Structures are given as C-alpha cells and as structure tokens.
Amino acid sequence: MKQTTPLTICMDMFGCPNRCLHCWLGHMPNRQMEAGADEWIVGLFKPYFEEIEFYSWLREPDFCADYRERWERDKRLSVNCEPERFELASFWRLVRDPEYVRFLKEVGVRCVQLTFFGLEETTDRFIGRKGAFRELMQANELLLENGISPRWQAFIYEENRGELVELLRLSEKLELDRRCAEFGGSFKFFIHAGSCDGENRKLYPIRIEKGHIPEELVPYFWRYDENLPESRLCAELRDDPSHVVFHNEDRIVLYVSNEYDLFFNFTHMRPEWRIGNLKTDPIEALVRRVTEEDTEALREASRITVGELVERYGDPLSEKVFEKEDYLGYLFNTHLERLFAEKR
Ligand code: SF4
C-alpha cells in the first residue's frame, strides 16, 4: 500500500553561483547531474507514495539556462500535486537575463527575498563573490520596476552589527515602502542570526550576543523574544531528560545531493545525516529508513538526553543568541561530529 503522507523531493541538479559563509546546507561542488536523473528518482519513489512534489533545485532556484522548461518539467514530474514557487529567485540570473523577471511575473511571484550581510564589501565577502552586493541592488531595482516586492533579509554577527544599521538606513533612503505600495506590494526588512547548521556552525565565534544587538534593529529582529542567550538556555535545559526530536509530521521532505546521497531536511547535509545513496542502496531499504525515520543520527538522538548535551557541549558563560530549537540542533551536531570523528 502506498504512503498517504505527501513526499517532497528536492534535487541539487545545477548547484549555486554563491558560496555564502552562512550557508546552512553546507558548501558542495556544483556538478550537473545526468540527464534523466530527475525522472529516474521520481520513478523510484512512485510505487511508495501517492503524492510527490518535485523540485530540481535545493540551492539556487532557476540556476539553469532553460529555467522555463525546467519549471514545466518539475510540474510534470510531480505526482498528484504541483510544486510551489515560494518567495525565492536567483538574483544572479535576474541581473544577467532580462527575460527572467518576466518569467517570475508569469508564474505568479509577487515577492523575492534578497539576502544581505551589510554593505558592499561585507556582503561580497559573505556571499563569496565580488560584485554580489551590486547585483543585489540591481536585482532590487529590476524587481520594483516589474511590480515585485523585494524583501531584504540580513544575517547579523558581532562584526557586522553596526553595518546592518547602515543597511536599514539605505533601505529607508531608497523609499522601498512607498515604491512597493505604489503597485500594491509591501516591503519587508528583517534580520536574524540564522541557525547554527552547515557553514554557519563555523561562525559560532562571531555569533551575536543578545546585548549587542543595536537598539535600532530590535524591531526588525525576527522572533526577538524567542532568541535567548546561550547562558539562559544552558540554565533552563541542563536537567532536561528529553531527547532532541527531528521529525517530519505532515510531509516528508527529502534532499538529493548531486552524488545521489539522500538526506532529510533536518539540519545540514553532512555525512552523519545521510540516509543512504540512491545508486547503491536498494530503494526498499531507503523507503523504510525514510518512513520509519531510522538512521544512525536519529538513533543517536534518542540515546543522549538534552541535559547531557548541555553538560558536554554548552557554554554557560556565553551570551550568544539562539532560538531553542536551533541551539539543540547546534549541540546535537557538535555531539555527532565528535562521535563520527572518534569512529573514523
Ligand atoms: S545560502 Fe543559498 S545562495 Fe548561499 S551558498 Fe547556500 S544555497 Fe547558495
């Protein structure tokens, strides 16, 4: 009998032009997957799931020259549903291909998120590409000209906190609220520290402390009250006998790397989190691991308590901010990394 829980498959078929220092997925080489890999993978899961939502990308959307055909093909490969567009687009493509913004309009995109880390030099350095900031500004104008609202997201760290105030001032100077309102859209600016997965784990030393968030930015800080200093989280969680739970409730989301490794959408795509490989593991075994959530990492999560994680890896003197779920993920990944390093 087929699973009634819907399945989402996201494949890294084309990669990403950026190498952001905060990339929660983790840096992976760009490698174009074989033609037909998409159809083959959906075909593997079709006998087991009634509904399959298919995406050919999991890093940069539309990072392929034939994005129009690609979108139609993603829709055609999906089973009993259609993929969504979300508020995401490729700013790399926006500034290189005049047709692309028209395509976004056609498929109903009304808002596109643009990610900043400060002004020009800092944003270029964090995105890993010279010219990225100028491209973002150019993309911002193109979106506005075409009646699509830009949404500015900025990641805050100790070293760029002052610059983010300048970024906010720049957005005000550009009168983005008024210009979006002119075509019935709305501009949004928000900042956050991000989860501590993937590449962002390496930025723990410069993670922002709660007391260092500039006052002007507090109204724009996403879930400000839920972001707590590590010292407080350690105090609250140190006797917690429960376990960190990673679980897909209403929909199973799977990521496929360009080497056919299969992952859940839990935390990052590191070897410790691999469910298996679509080329070398039998599909029956992979589907069982997916539906029973039975992988080495998840088994380990049920062995160690939150209290033990805090005791071993938490820093009760740190004022760095985390949301509780992100902090638990950070502690558990620290544990997994040490465990796997010992085994190797
Ligand atoms: S965060 Fe997004 S845009 Fe940046 S490197 Fe990762 S996948 Fe690419």
| Ligand 1 center from residue 233 Cα (angstroms) | 29
pLDDT of residue 341: 83
| Token pair belonging to 9 | 């498959």
59 lines ligand 1 (CB under 6 A): yes
Per-residue pLDDT tens digits for 125-144: 999 999 999 999 999 999 99
Q: What is the pLDDT of residue 75?
A: 98
pTM score? 0.95
Residues of the chain scoring pLDDT < 50: none
Residue 116's pLDDT is 98
CA 149 to centroid of ligand 1, rounded, Å:
21
Is ligand 1 within 6 A of the CB of residue 20?
yes
Q: Can you give the pLDDT at residue 83? A: 97
Is 23 touching ligand 1 by the criterion CB < 6 Å?
yes
Q: What is the pLDDT of residue 342?
A: 78
Helix, strand, or coil here: 311? helix
Query: Phi then psi for 317, rounded to 5 degrees?
Result: -100, 0
* Nearest CA-CA partner of 276 in 291, 248, 295, 299: 295
Q: Which atom of ligand 1 is nearest to the CA of 22?
A: 1
Q: Whose CA is nearest to atom 1 of ligand 1?
A: 23
Count the neighbouring beta carbons within 10 Å of the beta carbon of residue 193: 23
Distance 131 CA to ligand 1 centre (A): 16
Q: Report the pLDDT value the prediction gives residue 61, as an integer from 0 to 100.
A: 96
Axis crossing angle, helix 230-237 with helix 306-313, rounded to the nearest 10: 140
Phi, psi (rounded to 5 degrees) for 53: -100, 125
pLDDT of residue 1: 85
Report the distance separating Cα 135 and Cα 91, nearest Å. Answer: 7
